[in-house]
């Protein structure tokens, strides 16, 4: 069908590309990775600006189109490669799953981006400890609300919705990793913790892990 | 079909409920408004926490379910009330529209929330002028990238996609209003400005405007 393999503009450390890597792996879609090193400001290179004027990762070049925004890409994958499904079939349950995913994608992650940390440091003279408190604050606020919503929801199974990972897990697992890196105390989140543990044991999540990406370099 | 009208938990000033009000109005769905006054911290009342553990607006009580997260609610409306459509039918074009909407919902708006301003003021001793610069920075970064993406895209018409307002406009019009309130210089965004002007003249956008909501109070 495809004459050329999809090209995925990614950065191993960043959590939005990690979401899409999980979705691509769950749907068994092969692709080539082009690394956009955010620490080196590669996203501001003129060549990449033409791919994605927002200067963010990920971007996916597939079927002659460039797709951007991780959740829009995953919804596109769901439209075009429906098997296995990452969203439920009933509208109510789709809204539930999308709402959980958006809690991470809108209310946690955007506040913890590298560009935001840089702004806090440069413009508010934020020290590393204050930056870490900022990160922990928004992460824990969001994750606790997810834990509460999942606690008594009968739709929950081994994963946030039923017994297969889906859209929420594509967002949760990268966010959980950030929470660990930021030293969050995750002990009070047993439901989410169990889901993360089960997901990380699956081949698709192993394949998508930052440490296994072609542009991976160990932390200094 | 519905025995009781939908209940919409809203706050006239907030931009996420404004998005959903536009979608409800475009789809001609009637509802009752319950105001959650974010300035008075009503979102932390125990009664509202049971509606929405995330303590954010909007929430929509409809068909015996409570839906949260503005974009998840709008996608639900699209699933259940497909006419008029707010998303295109082709997967590629859906991804384009979702990507533009997510640029606002993920990369602009979460950084400009009231709760974020409060954190900056309380924890980084940010003065009003520095808060305003923060707001303007993220708003202009996002809006300029949207303007660039729309400039040469043949899918653009009177609106971001074609000649009818859709998902992008539900996000853009509230965001544009925030930009004006924050004193952003919007003169360099003629494409977006034209789209906003055309949208604001339509009955659904007039009906959804903050100043016409039952909980509206004039700014002091």
Q: Given a cut of 90, is residue B182 above it in pLDDT? A: yes
Give pTM, 2 decimals.
0.96
Name the residue of chain A whose CA is nearest to B60's CA.
Answer: A95
Q: Is A191 on the interface with B (CB under 8 A)?
A: no
Shortest distance, CA A208 to any CA of chain B (angstroms) = 22
Per-residue pLDDT band for B190 (boundaries 50, 70, 90) equals very high
Q: Is B210 on the interface with A (CB under 8 A)?
A: no
Tell if the CB–CB gap between A75 and B94 is shorter than 8 Å.
yes
Q: What is the mean pLDDT of residues A130-156?
A: 96
Find the CB nearest B79 among A71, A91, A103: A91
Tell if the CB–CB gap between B106 and A106 is shorter than 8 Å.
yes
Interface test with A, best of B16, B54, B79 (most A CBs within 10 A): B54
Find the CB nearest A75 among B65, B95, B107: B95
CA distance linking residue B9 with residue B34, whole number of Å: 5
A contacts of B17 (beta carbons < 8 Å): none
Q: Given a cut of 80, is residue B2 above it in pLDDT? A: no
Q: Given a cut of 80, is residue A2 above it in pLDDT? A: no
Per-residue pLDDT band for B219 (boundaries 50, 70, 90) equals confident
What is the pLDDT at residue B3? 66
Per-residue pLDDT band for B48 (boundaries 50, 70, 90) equals very high
* Helix/strand/coil for B198: helix
Find the CB nearest B54 among A76, A116, A145: A145
């Amino acid at each position: 069908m495809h004459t050329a393999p999809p090209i995925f503009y990614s950065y191993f450390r960043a959590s939005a590309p990690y979401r899409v890597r999980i979705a691509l792996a769950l749907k068994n879609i092969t692709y080539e990775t082009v690394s956009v090193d955010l620490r080196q400001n590669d996203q501001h290179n003129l060549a990449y600006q033409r791919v994605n004027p927002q200067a963010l990762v990920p971007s996916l070049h597939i079927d002659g189109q460039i797709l951007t925004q991780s959740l829009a890409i995953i919804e596109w994958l769901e439209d075009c490669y429906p098997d296995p499904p990452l969203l439920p079939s009933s509208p109510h349950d789709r809204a539930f799953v999308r709402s959980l995913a958006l809690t991470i994608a809108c209310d946690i992650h955007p506040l913890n981006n590298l560009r935001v940390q840089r702004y806090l440091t440069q413009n508010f003279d934020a020290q590393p400890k204050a930056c870490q408190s900022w990160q922990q604050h928004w992460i824990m606020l969001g994750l606790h609300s997810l834990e509460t919503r999942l606690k008594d929801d009968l739709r929950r199974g081994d994963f946030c919705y039923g017994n297969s990972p889906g859209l929420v897990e594509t967002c949760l697992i990268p966010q959980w990793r950030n929470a660990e890196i930021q030293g969050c105390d995750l002990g009070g989140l047993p439901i989410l913790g169990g889901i993360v543990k089960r997901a990380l044991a699956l081949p698709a999540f192993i394949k998508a892990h930052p440490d296994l990406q072609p542009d991976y370099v160990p932390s200094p």
